Structure 1
Amino acid sequence: MSYRVAFIRGDGIGPELVESALAVLDAAVDFPVELIEVQGGAGAYLEQGTAMSAAGLEVIRQADATLKGPVGLPDVRLPDGTEAGLLGGVLRNGLDLYANVRPITLLPGVRSALRVEGGIDYVIVRENTEGLYASRGKGVGNSQAMADTLLVTRAGCERIVRYAFELAAKRQGAPEDGVRRVTCVDKANVLRSMYFFRSVFLEVAAEYPDIEAECIYVDAAAQALVMSPLHFDVIVTESMFGDILSDLGGGTVGGVALCPGGNIGTSQAYFEPIHGSAPSIAGAGQGEPTQSDPRDRDDGRLSRRTADRRPYPRRGTAGASQRVSAVEFGWDSNFRYQVGDHSGDRSVGVIIEEGKQFPWDRPRKHRAC
């Protein structure tokens, strides 16, 4: 059986990151993969007047998984001043990918900006379809004032909180004490919408008595992620809060260039770096490809759709999990470079060479959409 994987090269350093990720994917998987390229981002907007065509979105809808490079260019904008090449609203809302999963992990061989020797390992689960970003393209106002609406629904809260607790149930707990813990980050002391988010969180938490539940205000969370990062296991929060905190977390584990992200719904998913397109270094070979991992690191899935029909075992055995092990081995063995010093392709090539101890026949087809 062949699996259809769509990919979007993106803008800026996106194409070089995606190319590296595809090279690792080709070396790691032991089943046939058909790659389908979809145009998307600022380049697509300049060419066709839209960041992604309806036909491209349908290809992604039908794919088993999607890998997306960073998109957007700072000088390509819509009439309202926002970036024209972004795909978050198109893909996340268009495919109802409600869970933005962002692992924050200090990899072997990477020096943290904090005084820790390792152990940072938590996941930010960010609600993807509501919150303040639900106002994307819908702000109202005039030359004197502008307003965006923060939307929180019970259904949206319940499903993202359940996702967080189910994820915590599969993890090993916080590095500090081994406790499986879900932390709700909100601003319930100021905003009624956030108090509602917290209230629903506590209702759902009661269904998981074996997992510790706690709540913290977002400003206090920003401090705690710097001062006590080993305390955290799974964090669940509103879209904008999660967007900001994941960058803060990335800064504690070597930079956001080392942090992947998954956008996961009931039956579909796509995977991407959590950073922007960095056009100022495009083509310079300074892009870090580690975060372009087309897989959910916590359960080994290439996508929701392939979860029950993949021909290889999950994390910790054979298959794609060895790709993550190879990346970690590369860092731990000092094959990896200092971020921003040398070409990402060079280190990816080293890892692939080291990974040839896992020889598989990997037929692959590639066509463009």
Structure 2
Amino acid sequence: DVEDPSIRRNPIMTDADMAMKVDPIYREISERFHKDFDYFTDVFARAWFKLTHRDMGPKSRYLGPDVPAEDLIWQDPVPAGPTGYDVNAVKSHIAATGLTVGEMVATAWDSARTFRGSDMRGGANGARIRLAPQKDWVGNEPERLAKVLASYQPIAAETGASIADVIIIGGGVGIEQAAAAAGFDVSVPFSAGRGDATDEMTDADSFEPLEPVHDGYRNWLKDDYAVSAEELLLDRTQLMGLTAPEMVVLIGGMRVLGTNHGGTNHGVFTDRVGALSNDFFVNLTDMANTWTPAGDGTYEIRDRATGDPKWTATRLDLVLGANSILRSYAEVYAQDDNHQKFINDFTAAWTKVMNADRFDLD
């Protein structure tokens, strides 16, 4: 008895309890706990700490005098990154690589989009996109990713910047080039200090749940799912902590920058790909166009008067024009006098995603 040792009560065990004794692997672990109390208490304390802190994100978010000094691999540790390098020099080197706007922007996006506000995991800090398993994820387009990283690595080595920072700077360079191509001058905000994680700092298996199997921002689904594409888009959006207007402006900008997964043309409602124009919204809301289902979740956009085909699109594009709330945001960005607002809002939303895991900036 728990209160009176002189009273004997028969133990009652569930299947889970019996497994600790009967299963050969669990029994070996249980026997070690039985024979080594200090080992048992240490393992239990670590497991309890992990259980109660798993959704707090990296150790940099912990407060108080009892924060353990030890870095634990499940915390996704990232070393402090350099800040004293010449950012403009990095931008010049990146601009000289010949990478396209789409390549630079898509790589930065893929690095940052894994952030989850639910448990503060993922994001661009650490540049784990260059490590297993992320470098091989289908959603990250391994061949394109390898090409971009091959251009960035010598730049990081020469300038003293982290690869994580170079990836984000590259996205900013792409956006600035795209804005210039549209006739606007914009400077994408950037905060240095991201570090580069190593394989030894990374529990590869734990990153499998972060693998994207859909990304409405890059107009991509890995497979057919019971959940609609637009519902998956909303899930991705809320995980990244974005609002509905931010979602709309990012999609419209990403489409015209040529960032679609696999280089598809769905939703690319422009004849000047690579320029940060509001063409997507202008043509999305144009009543001179009609939308016709083409099968497999795609649509043809045709001239209402002639029936001539203009573009193709997916449900992820159509929802911005079909949903009344999302359409209201799209119509704002389609206005002739709101091109500058579109660029400003796109840049602000982009920066929010790039810095989502920069808890040191809060």
**TM-score bin, normalised by smaller chain:** under 0.3
Name whichever structure is richer in helix by fraction. Answer: 2
Q: Which has the higher contact order (CA 8 A, sep 6+)?
A: 1
When normalised by structure 2's length, the TM-score is 0.26
When normalised by structure 1's length, the TM-score is 0.25
